[in-house]
Each structure stands twice: as C-alpha cells, then as structure tokens.
Structure 1
Amino acid sequence: MRLRTPTTRTYKDAINALNTLQSNFASIEANRKLGPNVDRHALSLNEVIEYTKRLGYSTTDFNKLNIIHITGTKGKGSTCAFTESILKQYLNIPTSPTSTSTPPITKIGLFTSPHLKSVRERIRINGNPINELKFTKYFFEVWDKLSTTTSSPEEWPTLQPCDTIKPMYFKYLTILSFHVFMQEGIDTAIYEVGVGGKYDSTNIIDKPTVTGISSLGIDHTFMLGNTIDRITWNKTGIFKSNVPAVVSQQFEHPETIEQIKQRSIELNTDGLEIVKSLPSTIKLGLAGDFQRQNAALAVRLASIHLKKLGFNPKEIPQIIEQEGNEIVIEDLSEKFLTGLLQVHWDGRCQILKNKPGFDNITWYIDGAHTLESINVSSQWFKNELNNLIIQDNGKKKRTKILLFNQQSRENASALLSKLYENTSGTFEFDHVIFTTNITWSDGKYNSDLVSLNNSAEVVDKLIIQKGLAQTWSELDAKFKRTHTRKHIFHDIETGVNFIKSLTKSSENSEIEVFVCGSLHLVGGFLVVVDNERD
C-alpha cells in the first residue's frame, strides 16, 4: 500500500491502512475449517511478542502499566467500563498516608473491542477515546517501525520485512494500544480480551495486578471449541502465577465453576474468588439486572487493584467469605458508589428518546450477539415495555419494532428464535426489520466501519436477511401469530428511514424500537441516527 509522506498523512490514511489488515472472508473460512488449532494459536500469540520486541519493548516493560486483565463471553465490556469508572474516582488521589510514593493513578488506559462508531473507541485514556491526531501519530509510528525492522528468518519464517506484511487488524490494534499507553505514561490499564483468553493477542501480559472472568457461554466455537469445557479452559488461560483471580457467578453454566477452580490451582493463582451479584439497592449507570453481576466483578477487581497500589484499606469495600470460594461485597465507599452510577457504555442496554428528527421514537439498543446475551437483552426490553404499559395503564398506542441483524454467526436463526420466544406471549412486534451492516443507502460504510470479514455475495444478495425473515415466518406459524410485518433492507440508513416514516402514519402513537443482534449493527445505527458521515 502506497502512503503519503509522514508529514501529510491523515487520520483517514491511518484508517485506510488499518482496513488493509482485516482478514477477508476467504481467509476466515479457511481458518474456520481448521478448527481450534492450538499450535497455530500459540504461534500467533508469540508473533505478538515478536512484533512488540521490534518496537523496542519486552513484555515485562508493560508491567509498569499495572494492568487489570478481563475476559468472559457476556459482560466483559461492561465489566471493563464499570472498573474504569470506579478507578476514575481515584485519579490523582494520594494513596495510604504511610505511602511515600507519588499518586499511583494519574492516567487510566482502557483497551476494548469491538468499537461502535470509531476505531479510536478501542484505545481510551481517562474515559475518552484518543483523538484523531494522537491515533494517527502513534499508528504510523508502529507502522513505520514494523516496516523498517526485521525478524530473524530462522526463528520467524512467517514474519517478513516487507511493509505489506503487518499483524492482522485486532493484533495490530493490540500492539498499538501497548505503544500508546507506554508513550502516554499510563499507570493503570484495563485490557479486555478479544476472543478467548489463552491465545488472545492481549495475553502477552506478564504480571497483571488481577485477572477477571465474567459470565461464560458458547461463542466463537470455530476458534475456541464447541463445548463449554474447552471454552472455559481457554478463558482461564489469562490466569497468572501469584496473581489474584476473580470470577462472576456462573448462572448460565454453573458446571464451569469446578473447572475454573482446577485451572486456578494448575496456574498457581494467588487465590480465586467467585463474587456474588450486587444487591438491588445499589444504583447502577447501566440498565439491566444482569449488570449487577458485572458491577460486582468490577468492584472486586478495582478493590484488589487499589490495594496493590497502596491505597488506604478503609477506601476499599469489605468482603464476607462464604463456602466454596464465594464472596459477598459490602460497605461500598462513596467513590465506588459514584463510579458505579456514573458509568457510561454505549450500545449496551442503552435508551435513546426523542432524538432530533426522530420525534416520538424511543430506541432500545443492545449489541447482544450470543444466546446468553440475547436472552438477557430481550428480557430487558420486555421489562422496559411492560413498565411503560403499567405507567399509562395501557392507554397509549405503542408501535413495536425490531431492527435486527447478525451477519457473522452461524447461529443467527437460533439467536432470533430465542428473542422471539422471550417476547412471545407478552406482546407482538408490529414490524420486524432485517438489514445488513452496510451504513448508508448508497452502499457505503463509514471508513471506521468497513468490514471485509463477510462474503460480499451473501451481503449483496441479502441471503442472511432473507433467511432471518423465513425464520420469523416459521415462528409465526408455530405460535399462530400473523400480526407482524416483515421488511428486508440492504442497509441501516434505509431501515432507519423506514421507521422514521412510520411517525407520519402512526399519529398519537409512541414508537418503541428494539435494536439488537450485533455490535456492528448497533455501531452503524448510532452513526446513522447521529448523521455522522465520513
């Protein structure tokens, strides 16, 4: 790829270069057929170490970032957000009075994925995505360094000096995040695992302050395996010797607890805690009862982290130990309560009401994309709708709409079926809309949202969308329901405009729209409703 000179390269140039690193559909399918090949994954992780070495870092250098490492199937992103929000309350706060060190938290870094609207969301400092100028600067520092350094051909025959050979998309962003955080002087960092744990690109971390696992479930089976045992083994791969490990209660798969305990012993962690959900009396900034699990995990991760940094124990919530490694958290300080309340995490049980240009429309947005997350997300939407009906005694007319897509997963129909079953018997959708993840009606994506991971033919022919519509028709027939009108659109903008058009024909009606099935759909949707074209 030909790039402009360093003095003229722009953020758009950085994004265009980054997009060349995406795995295309053909290579993803080839990898899928190989299955969860351990040797291949181990080599990939070692390559991340080698790339960071070419940037001038050893993995032990990253210990100064004081990293909290978090994985899981459902809720790991929300757990990261809660943890970050709690720790922000301690920025520039002195540690224990007996400590002679400078304030240990001056800059908090967060690395997370995927992004919704902008790739810069993946690399945050003190709660904010890094700006375009910094992203561009650091992106090309890494790009140029990897273009002008080489690896030993004897040790690394797969790595070449040619500047067209770079780490793939997620791997590159992981490496970039370490470079950004080191250069920016981050002294507390939170890393969300991308996929799995053991062989994830983030798992080059040598000595985190603590590791955490949120709710586990079946996902990414072609990489991790198709049983909960194999997935649990992989997720617990982030456990480190002499590092505390904290795990959420596993309501969906309680059978994983014994394996987690065994893995904790095998990997010599500094203890294992299974943390119970926070009580309903504690107010959270994220909607959904299931968030109490994630919030409890975040509270314990933040507590252990602060203790390691030397903070006054009186500032740290107390725990009551129970049988079988289980703990209950109590006596949260004002800072912890504030952090839990002030957390913000777009695209997760998010409600947008009466946005400019969308009068009388309320959007209920959640990027649920696994069976477990679809289950809790659809229950959340149903509860929100029921509360509205109770408030107005059912007197208001409400048009109920589903905007759905799942372009990447083989079990898209199973996800839709779970959503249907959860809402069936309570209400019927008036309209269900199936779109692709293409952003605009002219067939273009915003640059940050370009996806090469899916078959272009499948997208263009709306094959998945037609299949989802067929699934809905079959469910309607099974449950003897015929009220719902089904629509298939080629892009998100057209789907949103159709919903907007219903405000003209639905006088005196409130329109309630549930947007879910994919974080990629949610990201594109948020761009469209905010009209943020490139």
Structure 2
Amino acid sequence: MRVYLPLRMSTKTYQDAVAALNSLQSNYANIMAIRQSGDRKNQMNIWEMQEWSRRIGYSTANFDRLNVVHITGTKGKGSTAAFTSSILQMYKDKLPKIGLYTSPHLRCVRERIRINGDPISEDKFAKYFFEVWDSLDSTSSSLDKFPHMVTGSKPGYFKYLTLLSFYIFMQEGCNCCVYEVGVGGEYDSTNIIEHPKACGVSLLGIDHTFMLGDTIEEIAWNKGGIFKKGSPAFTVPDQPVAGYKVLQERAKERHTTLQVCPIYSQLKNVNLGIAGDFQIVNASLATSLASQALNSMALLDEPVAMNPDAELPKPFIDGLLNTKWEGRCQTLQRSNNTWYIDGAHTKDSIEAASKWFKDTVKSSSRKTVLIFNQQSRDAQALLANLYDTIYPDVKFDEVYFTTNVTWKSGKYSSDLISMNTSKEQVEKLEVQLNLAKKWSFLDPKATTHVTADIESAIEKIEQNNQSVNIFVTGSLHLVGGLLVVFDGQNN
C-alpha cells in the first residue's frame, strides 16, 4: 500500500527547501571534534534511519518494492551507479521509472535524486522536501530509545537527503532504484535496504579513514556491510588482496555469494558514455549488477554469463553508450579553449583522471593549464600524485589554485554552500597558498596563481587569446562550482 501524506497548502519554494536543507549541515568545528575523538558511525545510525522512515510513513520493508541495486566502493561507485541506471532505463517498457540516488552533487542538490536520468524537478523537490519536513515536525519517537529525536528534530544533511530519496521514489512509484552508498556501507544511511536485488563493490582504496578505519581490511569490512542474505554480490578484478579476502568473509557471514565480474571483451570496442580507459571496469560491474537485477525481476531469462567473451544484450550496449555523468572525464569546449574536467579526490582517482588527461593532450601543441583545489583531504599528497602521473609527458604552463567559492562576490551558489570547511582557512587562502608553494617546488618553471574564487580563475584563463587546454581536478565541489559559473547561474 502506497502512503501519501496530506498535501500542504504552501508557497515554499525550491530555494526555501535548499535553505532548510543547508541548516542541517554539520559545521566545521563539530566535524573536526568528531574526527579528533575517533568517534565513528555505529549501529545507532541504522536504527535512527529506520525510525526516521517510520515517522514519514514507511517501514524499511516497504522499500523492497523499489527493487534496489546497492553500490559501494572507493573509486568508481558513482560511475558504476550511472552505468547501471542507464542500462535499466533501456527496459522502460517493463520498468518505466528508474530511480538513481548518488552523492555528492555538482550544480544542484536535485542531481542526487534522479528519475530516468533526470534530476527531480524544483517543484517536486520542494513539495516532497516539505512533506517530509512537516511529517517529522508532527511525529515523535520514543525518548527512551531515541532521546535526541524529539518532535521537530531532523536528521543531518546526508541522512535527510537519503530519507527524502526513499520517500520520493516511493511516492513516484519507481520500479527499480540504484543507490550509491555515501560513505562506507555497514553504517551508511542507505543501508536500511533489506533485500536488494544485487550489491556491488567497485575498486577499494584508502579514503575516509577517520570514519572507516586506517587499513584496507577495515575499509573492506565497512564496504561489505551492504551485503544481504540471498542478495548476490559482485566486485571488480584486481581488488587489493587483503581487501578482497575481507569481502569474501563478509559475503560468507551474510549468507550470500560474491562474484568477480569479468572485463567484458565486447566493451573494448564500445565508446562508453563516460570517458576514460578505466571506465570499462565500472561498465563491466554495472553489466553484472543490471543483469542480476533484471533476471531477478524476470525481465531477462538468465543473467549475462560471467565470461569475458559473453555476448551482451543490445539494450546493455545502448545503455552504456548513452550514459551521461558530468564531472567525470568530461570534455567541454568554450570559445577556443578545451576544458578537461574530473572531480577526482582520492589517490586512485586522481591518478586515473591525470592519466586520461595526459593521454588525451600529450600530442597537443597548445598551452596547458591546471586548476586545482582540495579543501579537506591531504591536498599536497594528491597534487604530488597528479604531478607524478603527468610529468614529464605533459607540463603545465600555468597552475591556478582556487577555493571552492563560486563567485567573485565571495558567495557560493546556494546549492553549493558548505559549512563543513573552515571559513577562516578559506578566507585566508591557507590551502591554496601552500599548494602554490608546493607546485613551485615541483615545477619551478610553471607560473602559479592563487584566486579567492572559481569565477576569477576562469576569467583570468579566458583573458588569454590563444587556445588552451585546461585540466580541472581535485574536488567535485570545485567542478560543480566551475559548471555553475559556466552556466552563469549567479543567484
């Protein structure tokens, strides 16, 4: 039975919803305190999400109707989710509505909640956002079990969006939904799904150590937490040996199977919708996940064979060709300049993106420019990874280090406001000045620039009359701000 909350007579807008959502962000001081205390997510995170779901009218068992494909990993989970969603959309005669939940967003928060590849509309986002908001205001929890969940309290930013995604997909009657894990898996707010149709783990690496642990084994344990009894799990070849061993153990604990997907030979001759040679691995994982989901819903007679030489159904090829995923190995032409954009922000992803850029432009005679930022991770280590991957095949003539502030006015686009970075550090350009110093050491011949905002960096580059290749990387927040400036959406 589908649950509908009473319609609200309200004039609240999408911008009202974004403002309310931003109020749920944790500030920088709180986040640093949690990191320093070593306090990590635990089972209470899942119990809270179950309770928040009850308060908006659903039990977590209701979400089985969404026929979820659940995906985690360190590198490539977002691309895998996009590929999987696109394949499933090719079966629209049987599955007219495919939901996709991912994070973070680039331009606008609505991108996190998509139906048939399109972000939910502003009107629907606002409508559903305040239905959930008002429902939480008008319901209560047992203070013995949840002493902090008093009437009117709300989950944090990511939890709220996860809750909202379930509500939207249920209200919209989605037939199948692809969920990308936020962080980890075991205690991630998406992990209230009880019976996913398939689970996937993209390439593992070291990231979010303050939440997941310092070793590949601890990280793999967290990622394997999405495995469920009877829900087949799939992963990619070439996982770190220690991490793969833990994934196998987790699958056994959860009474399910874990299979390593092949790299499908047929995809070597396919121009995948997301650029980059490494995307064939993510496309192969998506093929296995979509195949399992379709078979479990009786829409494929049998899953695609786990064989590199297996022939893939035409809808699978079409789905992989038509996948669109901005900010990942994306090329844009503006006037005489070519922009190469990738929001890579881990060691593995920055090396993969840098290799893509190098292989694409190394025979070009154009001037080459880098725009880089990473505000919260070890930015200097990432910059060194980038340098080691690209040099000496490609050398940058100019390098720009900017904050993630969108506009010259000093303001962020409302969808890109982030309270979890140090305002003082941003205003003093501490990270950017240190990165400029680091780059001058790595390559003394390059000209370095520090800008207080993304708009200024773009303007300085575009003042040049000659054709330039520009590589933008280090942060999805940077890439999102760049795309907003390109769109001219100064709000």
TM bin, normalised by shorter chain, reads: over 0.9
2:261 and 2:306 in contact (8 A); partners too: no
Partner of 1:260: 247
State the SS of the aligned residue for 2:178: strand
State the SS of the aligned residue for 1:402: strand
State the SS of the aligned residue for 2:371: strand
Deviation at 1:36, TM superposition (A): 5.0
State the SS of the aligned residue for 1:512: strand
The structure number with the bigger radius of gyration is 1
> Within 2, Cα distance between the matches of 1:329 and 1:241?
30
Q: Give the alignment partner of residue 160 of structure 1, picking from 150, 153, 159.
A: 150
Partner of 1:413: 380
1:402 and 1:432 in contact (8 A); partners too: yes
State the SS of the aligned residue for 1:408: coil
Unaligned runs of 5+ in 2: 1-7
Q: Give the alignment partner of residue 398 of structure 2, picking from 404, 419, 431.
A: 431
Partner of 1:398: 366
Partner of 1:494: 456
> Within 2, Cα distance between the matches of 1:461 and 1:308?
55
Partner of 1:472: 439
In the alignment, is residue 343 of structure 1 matched against residue 345 of structure 2? no
CA deviations 1:212-246 (Å, max 9, x no partner) are 00011011111111111100000000000111000
State the SS of the aligned residue for 2:367: strand
> Within 2, Cα distance between the matches of 1:515 and 1:495?
11
Q: Give the alignment partner of residue 225 of structure 2, picking from 225, 232, 237.
A: 237
Unaligned runs of 5+ in 1: 93-102, 321-327, 390-396, 477-481
Partner of 1:46: 47
> Within 2, Cα distance between the matches of 1:418 and 1:148?
51
> Within 2, Cα distance between the matches of 1:6 and 1:525?
37
Partner of 2:61: 60
Q: How does 1:231-380 map to 2 (within 5 A)?
A: 231-251=219-239, 253-269=240-256, 271-279=257-265, 280-313=268-301, 316-320=303-307, 328=308, 330-353=310-333, 355=334, 359-380=335-356
2:73 and 2:184 in contact (8 A); partners too: yes
Counterpart residue identity of residue 406, structure 2: T
State the SS of the aligned residue for 2:306: strand
In the alignment, is residue 28 of structure 1 matched against residue 31 of structure 2? yes
Q: How many residues align?
A: 482
Deviation at 1:329, TM superposition (A): 5.7
In the alignment, is residue 113 of structure 1 matched against residue 99 of structure 2? no
Counterpart residue identity of residue 405, structure 1: N
> Within 1, Cα distance between the matches of 2:481 and 2:264?
33
Q: Give the alignment partner of residue 420 of structure 2, picking from 453, 456, 460.
A: 453
2:440 and 2:446 in contact (8 A); partners too: no
Counterpart residue identity of residue 66, structure 2: L
Partner of 1:10: 13
1:428 and 1:483 in contact (8 A); partners too: no
Normalising by structure 1, we get a TM-score of 0.88
1:349 and 1:366 in contact (8 A); partners too: yes
Counterpart residue identity of residue 531, structure 1: G
Counterpart residue identity of residue 406, structure 1: Q
Partner of 2:77: 76
Deviates more, 1:40-49 or 1:260-269: 40-49
Counterpart residue identity of residue 22, structure 2: N
Partner of 1:169: 157
> Within 2, Cα distance between the matches of 1:435 and 1:112?
26
Partner of 1:228: 216
Percent sequence identity over aligned pairs? 51
> Within 2, Cα distance between the matches of 1:27 and 1:45?
21
> Within 2, Cα distance between the matches of 1:236 and 1:249?
16
> Within 2, Cα distance between the matches of 1:519 and 1:491?
15
> Within 1, Cα distance between the matches of 2:468 and 2:457?
14
Q: Give the alignment partner of residue 147 of structure 1, picking from 137, 141, 163.
A: 137
Partner of 1:138: 128
1:350 and 1:366 in contact (8 A); partners too: yes
> Within 2, Cα distance between the matches of 1:346 and 1:224?
27
Deviation at 1:525, TM superposition (A): 0.3
Partner of 1:178: 166
State the SS of the aligned residue for 2:332: strand
> Within 1, Cα distance between the matches of 2:33 and 2:255?
36
In the alignment, is residue 441 of structure 1 matched against residue 417 of structure 2? no
1:82 and 1:343 in contact (8 A); partners too: yes
State the SS of the aligned residue for 1:319: coil
Counterpart residue identity of residue 272, structure 1: L
